[in-house]
Amino acid sequence: MARSTTKRLSATQLAPVLRDVITRFNRRLRQARPVGELTITQLSALTSLELAGALTPRELADAERVQPPTMTKIVAKLEDRGLIQRTPHPTDGRQVILAASEAGRAVVAEHRRARDAWLAQRLATLTAEERETLHRASEILRRLGRE
């Protein structure tokens, strides 16, 4: 099998190529989620709560990079569906702590399962060598993504 030659790209040349590929891939992965009543924004906020364990509304707004009034609307919709729960803040009576409810954690898990199934199906079409290359690339991307 003939190997294609790849020219070496500088960091400046690779950045837009990689950004575009990741953006398109992420968009396609999001489309693999189960169709339901949650918007992408609501699911993202719920996932942030599930990952963090518990956050104040302000911390959640900061994590999601939205303004607090926007997060107030998102939280209200998630709370109406029973996907999050509020508890009093342990040290500040003016604040509340938000956490994913059991139902919310189940929704996040179902979305993960659907995306993982879609991705596993796509990965199964690749060669073992291609999957190994992606595994190595995933480690590099993990390093790049560390804050």
When the pLDDT of each residue in the chain is averaged and rounded to a whole number, the result is: 92
Q: What is the pLDDT of residues 15-33, one digit of tens each?
A: 999 999 999 999 998 888 7
Q: What is the pLDDT of residues 50-73, one digit of tens each?
A: 999 999 999 999 999 999 999 999
Query: For residue 1, is pLDDT > 50?
Result: no
For the chain, the structural domain boundaries read: 42-145
CA neighbor of 54 nearest in space, from 40, 75, 69, 80: 75
| Greater model confidence, 6 or 118 | 118
CA neighbor of 37 nearest in space, from 107, 118, 113, 114: 107
CATH topology of domain 42-145: Arc Repressor Mutant, subunit A (1.10.10)
pLDDT at 126: 97
